[in-house]
Amino acid sequence: MTEPVIDVQHLSITYTVGAGTFYAVSDVSLQIYPGQVVGIVGETGCGKSTLAQAIPRLLPEPPATIGGGEIIFRGTDLVKVPKRQLPMVRGTGIGMIFQEPLNSLNPAYRVFDQIAESIRIRHYRDMGWVKSFQGGDVPFDYSKPAAPITVGGSLTKSIIPDGAVEEAARDRLRTRSEFRDEVLEYLRLVRINDPETILNLYPHELSGGMRQRIMIAMALSEKPSLLIADEPTSALDVTIQAQVLTLMKELIEEVDAAILFISHDLGVIAETADEIGVMYAGRIVEYGPVAEVFRSPRHPYTKALLKAAPSKYKSEGPLDSIAGSVPNLSRPPPGCRFNPRCPLVKDICRGEHPPLAPIDKTANPDTPGIHRSACYFADEVPGLP
């Protein structure tokens, strides 16, 4: 049994703002193995984007606080890593694809330069110029702090290491010739025909679908161990979204990174993920293989969500929706956070929050990927209308 690439254990994240404390994420655990795609689905405010940004520690830490839990990435707990060492983790360790590529691509640089920069970062890592997650399974040792700088030491030591200037000059030459081939290769990987034509274009001169492909190319060119895709197709037109999803489905097979895919759209998750986690009000309420969860949801919220997608005609009566509204995360309801809106609610639901337990009571709860539900009455869910 291989180790998971990322192992999130009981993670809690709170925001402190003027009006109070928000429990954005509470007690979330998940594991992703190499080559696996885990989808997280949920509505606005459920905390899925917060979770996605917390894993590479991209959240601004003053308003956000990691209240508890661990994020173990290839053996190292990212929560304990000091801030200035975090850039080593990102990029070549964890890659991210964001929702709106017009914002995530630098408008002042051409396509070639943006992808070349990602490739260069990976180059530095491979050459050992930058400490990062070297090779396969060696976890980076963050326990040894960097040597403190003494006055005497800094005076005698040269600021620029020997040979660095020549290396930089050689690197600049390499940029245009060697990198070019690799850039073209990555552009072809994301199914852009005639990539030479777009090398010199700026992001605003490209369509949304192209920009997203370039983002994917940039993320993949760093060969990350974990790829986090946060609503990557939500800003695209329907037909373009279908194209990009097809591309991602094929790349998933070719690339063996672990992938965390966030979306609000159940259909998109169905197309890409192996396992799905449903989030509500900061907690994972159901988890399991995609086919099983869709076929037989075991949490009232999941069931309601599947039913709420409009799929009928006006003459067939009103659409199913979920009564009530998403709770205010500064004062979440006691116990199970779905209880104000749940058709199965009983007194016990307002007491202790139900644990995310396997629906098959006889199974070993530590088996990864087993179908779990955070509901005391998971067995009654299939009987709901």
Beta carbon nearer to another protein, 259 or 305: 305
Q: How far apart are the first and last CA of the chain?
A: 40
What's the min distance (Å) between Cβ of 344 and another protein?
Answer: 13
76-85 exposure pattern, b = at least 16 Cβ within 10 A, e = fewer = bebbebeeeb
Looking at residues 334 to 373 of the shown chain, list those that interact with another protein (rule: CB under 8 A). 340-341
Looking at residues 283 to 322 of the shown chain, list those that interact with another protein (rule: CB under 8 A). 290-291, 294-295, 304-306, 308-314, 318-322
DSSP code of residue 25: E
Q: Which of 93, 76, 314 is nearest to 223 (CA)?
A: 93
Give the binding range for another protein (CB under 8 A) out of 77-85, 132-140, 196-204, 259-267: 259-267
Give the Cα separation of 211 and 107 in Å (integer). Answer: 11
Single out the residue of 46, 226, 375, 378 in contact with another protein (rule: CB under 8 A).
46
The reply to whether 191 sits near another protein by the rule CB under 8 A is: yes
Beta carbon nearer to another protein, 20 or 161: 20
The reply to whether 177 sits near another protein by the rule CB under 8 A is: no
Residues in contact with another protein, counted by CB under 8 A, come to a total of 84
Beta carbon nearer to another protein, 177 or 193: 193
Beta carbon nearer to another protein, 145 or 318: 318
The reply to whether 250 sits near another protein by the rule CB under 8 A is: yes
Looking at residues 208 to 237 of the shown chain, list those that interact with another protein (rule: CB under 8 A). 208-210, 231, 234-235, 237
Q: In terms of C-beta distances under 8 Å and separation of at least 24 residues, what long-range contacts does 346-350 make, across chains too? A: 346/376, 346/377, 348/376, 349/376
The reply to whether 271 sits near another protein by the rule CB under 8 A is: yes
**224: helix, coil or strand?**
coil
The reply to whether 56 sits near another protein by the rule CB under 8 A is: no
Give the Cα separation of 133 and 343 in Å (integer). Answer: 48
The reply to whether 48 sits near another protein by the rule CB under 8 A is: yes
Looking at residues 133 to 172 of the shown chain, list those that interact with another protein (rule: CB under 8 A). none
Q: In what order do the strands lie in the sheet with 372-373?
A: 94-97, 226-230, 258-263, 37-41, 275-280, 283-289, 372-373, 357-358
